[in-house]
Amino acid sequence: MDNSDWTRNGDYHPSRWDSQADAANLIAENKCEKNPENSIGIVSMAGKRVEVHVTLTNDLARILNAVKDIKLSQECDFLTALNISVLTLRHRQNKNQKQRIILFVGSPIRHKVEEMVQIGKKLKKYNIATDIISFGHVEENRPYLEGFLNAINNANNSSMLEVPTGYYILDSLFTSPIMNDNMGYDNNMDNEINAINNQYPQNTGNNINSQSSTGQQPSKLNIKKLIYKIKIKNK
């Protein structure tokens, strides 16, 4: 995660950091819900040193608390963070699990393009895929991240999501390849929908099972987005 001083910026509501933290929490929740054997670690890239806040675990509470406790400071060291992430993944208990790094980039990359390409090739050698979420300095960082992505990509197992200034990272994330395999409509969602409907009666026009003004039913994707946003609001 990008915990540099740059993420204090408020050009993504309510700030780059808060938007990033919400996105990280969403990804963690969906990964844990999808498969209880999935394990997640949290690494911060800025401050006095790159730090592993939680090693690979499927304990969602530990993951969410780790994100909450991260402090913002200085600038990111992306190369060191990626190398430490490689070491963290190598210590996973289930060696049959696929390896993936989700890289949040919300500050300028100070490394050379050649260095980003080199680390990408190293990760590819270790069969590690990546999903990049770029925001805040999208155009400035594009050459570095494209070089990294092209070097690590193996049969389209990696992706990059660019979120322009003023957009919500969560909204962009829901329709990205990062989340597409997690957007299934499960049975537990019915209970959440019913709970929301009890809070918003039909005569208010806010019932998510009611038809829109166009006469069309809301998509399952929009239902999932609404549920998660209400969860964030009620935290």
- Higher pLDDT, residue 164 or 34: 164
216 confidence band (pLDDT: 50, 70, 90): very low
pTM: 0.79
Half-sphere exposure of 64 (CA within 13 A, CB side): 14
**Does the structure show a pLDDT above 50 at 109?**
yes
177 confidence band (pLDDT: 50, 70, 90): confident
Per-residue model confidence as pLDDT tens digits over 140-150: 999 999 999 99
174 confidence band (pLDDT: 50, 70, 90): confident
Whether the bond between 218 and the residue before it is cis, its omega within 30 degrees of 0, is no
What is the reported pLDDT for 34? 87
What is the reported pLDDT for 175? 82
The pair of three-digit structure tokens given for residue 70, joined into one six-digit string: 């991260």
Of 2-11, 166-175, 189-198, which gets the smallest average pLDDT? Answer: 189-198
What is the reported pLDDT for 192? 44
Classify residue 8 by its DSSP letter.
Answer: G
Cβ proximity of 175 and 161 under 8 Å: no
What average pLDDT does the structure give for the chain?
Answer: 83
**Does the structure show a pLDDT above 60 at 159?**
yes
Distance, in Å, from the CA atom of 114 to the CA atom of 144, rounded to the nearest integer, reads 8
Concatenating the DSSP letter of every residue in 19-86 gives: HHHHHHHHHHHHHHHH-TT--EEEEE--SSS-EEEEEEE--HHHHHHHHHHPPP-S---HHHHHHHHH
**Percentage above 90 pLDDT, the chain:** 66
Distance, in Å, from the CA atom of 97 to the CA atom of 100, rounded to the nearest integer, reads 10
From 147, 138, 149, 163, select the one nearest 20 (Cα to Cα): 163
**Percentage above 70 pLDDT, the chain:** 76
Angle at 24 between CA 52 and CA 182, to 5 degrees: 125
Domains of the chain: residue spans and CATH: 5-180 (3.40.50.410), 188-233 (no CATH)
**Does the structure show a pLDDT above 60 at 230?**
no
Of 141-150, 162-171, 174-183, 208-217, which gets the smallest average pLDDT? Answer: 208-217
What is the reported pLDDT for 122? 97
Interhelix angle 188-199/220-233, rounded to 10 degrees, is 60
102 confidence band (pLDDT: 50, 70, 90): very high
